[in-house]
Amino acid sequence: MSESKIVKLVDESTNRSSELPLLSGTLGPACIDIGTLYKDTGHFTYDPGYGSTASTKSAITYIDGDKGVLLYRGYPIEQLAEKSNFLETSYLLLNGELPTKDQFSKFEHDITHHTMMHESLKDFFKGFHHDAHPMAMLAASVASLSAFYHDDIDVDNADDRKLAAIRLIAKMPTIAAACYRYSIGWPFRYPRNNLEYVDRFLHMMFEVPSEPLELSPVAAKALDLLFILHADHEQNASTSTVRLVGSTGANPYASIAAGITALWGPAHGGANEAVLEMLQEIGTADKVETAVKRAKDKNDNFRLMGFGHRVYKNFDPRAKIIREMTHKVLGELGINDPLLEVAMKLEEAALKDDYFVERKLYPNVDFYSGIIYKALGIPTEMFTVMFAIARTAGWIAHWIEQHETPGARIGRPRQIYTGADVRDYVAADKR
Ligand code: CMC
pLDDT (tens digit per residue) in 252-279: 999 999 999 999 999 999 999 999 999 9
Indicate whether 4 pLDDT > 80: no
Question: Is the C-beta atom of 233 inside 6 A of ligand 1?
Answer: yes
Q: How far is the CA of 351 from the centre of ligand 1 (A)?
A: 15
**Looking at 146-155, 163-172, 245-254, 348-357, which range is the least confident one?**
146-155
pLDDT for 130 equals 86
pLDDT for 149 equals 84
Spatial distance between the Cα atoms of 303 and 392, rounded to a whole number of angstroms: 28
- Give the rounded distance of the alpha carbon of 429 from its chain centre: 52
Q: How far is the CA of 360 from the centre of ligand 1 (A)?
A: 10
What residues pair up with 22 in beta bridges, in sequence order? 32
Q: How far is the CA of 271 from the centre of ligand 1 (A)?
A: 11
Question: Is the C-beta atom of 310 inside 6 A of ligand 1?
Answer: yes
CA-closest residue to ligand 1 atom 3: 303
State the catalytic residue, choosing from 133, 309, 398, 403.
Answer: 309
Q: How far is CA 244 from CA 55, 217, 237, 247, 408, in A?
A: 10, 39, 10, 5, 11
Indicate whether 151 pLDDT > 80: no
Ligand 1 atom with the shortest distance to the CA of 364: 48
DSSP, res 50: G
Pairing of β 6-11 and β 61-64: unpaired
Cβ atoms 371, 326 nearer than 8 A? yes
Q: How far is the CA of 396 from the centre of ligand 1 (A)?
A: 27
Question: Is the C-beta atom of 267 inside 6 A of ligand 1?
Answer: yes
Model confidence band, residue 2 (pLDDT cutoffs 50, 70, 90): low
Indicate whether 215 pLDDT > 90: no
Count of CB atoms situated within 10 Å of the CB of 139: 23
CA-closest residue to ligand 1 atom 44: 306
Model confidence band, residue 376 (pLDDT cutoffs 50, 70, 90): very high
pLDDT for 3 equals 60
Per-residue pLDDT tens for 26-36? 999 999 999 99
State the catalytic residue, choosing from 199, 366, 398, 403.
Answer: 366
Q: How far is the CA of 279 from the centre of ligand 1 (A)?
A: 17
**Cα–Cα nearest to 392, from 153, 231, 171, 237:** 231
CA-closest residue to ligand 1 atom 19: 298
Residues with Cβ < 8 Å from 140, sequence gap 6 or more? 124, 128, 257
CA-closest residue to ligand 1 atom 2: 303
CA-closest residue to ligand 1 atom 52: 268
Pairing of β 69-72 and β 75-76: antiparallel
3-class secondary structure, 31 = strand
Question: Is the C-beta atom of 161 inside 6 A of ligand 1?
Answer: no
Whole-model pTM? 0.95
Candidate from 235, 305, 309 with most ligand 1 atoms within 8 A of CB, to mutate: 309
Ligand 1 atom with the shortest distance to the CA of 309: 34
pLDDT for 150 equals 75
Q: Provide the mean pLDDT of the chain.
A: 95
Question: Is the C-beta atom of 259 inside 6 A of ligand 1?
Answer: no
Spatial distance between the Cα atoms of 49 and 65, rounded to a whole number of angstroms: 17
**Cα–Cα nearest to 295, from 314, 284, 282, 280:** 282
Spatial distance between the Cα atoms of 395 and 156, rounded to a whole number of angstroms: 17
Residue range 401-424: average pLDDT? 96
What residues pair up with 32 in beta bridges, in sequence order? 22
pLDDT for 212 equals 85
Q: Where are the alpha helices (DSSP H) in 264-337?
A: 271-282, 288-296, 317-333
Count of CB atoms situated within 10 Å of the CB of 399: 26
CA-closest residue to ligand 1 atom 34: 309
Cβ atoms 90, 60 nearer than 8 A? no
CA-closest residue to ligand 1 atom 12: 359
Cβ atoms 281, 274 nearer than 8 A? no
Question: Is the C-beta atom of 391 inside 6 A of ligand 1?
Answer: no
Q: Tell me, yes or no, if 366 is annotated catalytic.
A: yes
φ, ψ at 220 (rounded to 5°): -65, -40
